[in-house]
Each structure stands twice: as structure tokens, then as C-alpha cells.
């Protein structure tokens, strides 16, 4: 993977993670770093899932892939918030 690919994955992951956090119900007490990591994982899994469901190459924005990514990010943010958000720091 090139440096450009890594930077692109981080930027897209941050956007997907923030969208997931936006659509997740309730308050999430997780850091932005956790949100970005969840977004990167959701983007990768969403792309793989969209490619498994549909092999058609769409011109422009692939809305089905984006939908899969955001839904997976919402699920990931909810799971991360439940696992990490309840901790109290002393």
C-alpha cells in the first residue's frame, strides 16, 4: 500500500466514522481516534461486502457501498461506545 493509499484510507475512514457517530443514537463517550479506527474498519468491510453483493462497476459514487459503510460504522460506534465509553478515569 502506498502512502497516498494510507492517507486516503485515514481520510475516508474519518468521514465514515463521523457519519456513523452522527447517525448512532445517544451520546458516545469515545475519542476521535476510536471513531476514525471504527470508520476505517467499516469502510474496508463495507467495500468488501458491497463487492460480494454486487460485482457491477458503477461510475461515480457507489451509493450501495457507501450505505454499507455507514451502517457498519453506526454498528461499530455503538459497540465501541458500549465497550469503551462507560469507563471512568480516576
pLDDT in tens, 21-66: 999 988 888 898 999 999 999 988 988 898 888 777 778 878 888 8
Q: How far is CA 13 from CA 26, 32, 46, 63, 89, in A?
A: 21, 11, 11, 16, 27
pLDDT-derived band at 80, boundaries 50, 70, 90: very high
Could you give phi then psi for residue 24, rounded to 5 degrees? -75, 135
In the predicted structure, residue 86 carries a pLDDT above the cut 70: no
42, 17 Cβ separation under 8 angstroms? yes
Distance CA 32, CA 38 (A): 10
What pTM was estimated for this model as a whole?
0.83
Amino acid at each position: 500500500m502506498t502512502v497516498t493509499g494510507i492517507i486516503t484510507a485515514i481520510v475516508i475512514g474519518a468521514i465514515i466514522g463521523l457519519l456513523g457517530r452522527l447517525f448512532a443514537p445517544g451520546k458516545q463517550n469515545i475519542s476521535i481516534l476510536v471513531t476514525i479506527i471504527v470508520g476505517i474498519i467499516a469502510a474496508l468491510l463495507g467495500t468488501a461486502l458491497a463487492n460480494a453483493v454486487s460485482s457491477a462497476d458503477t461510475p461515480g459514487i457507489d451509493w450501495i457501498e457507501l450505505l454499507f459503510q455507514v451502517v457498519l460504522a453506526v454498528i461499530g460506534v455503538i459497540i465501541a461506545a458500549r465497550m469503551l465509553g462507560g469507563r471512568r478515569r480516576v
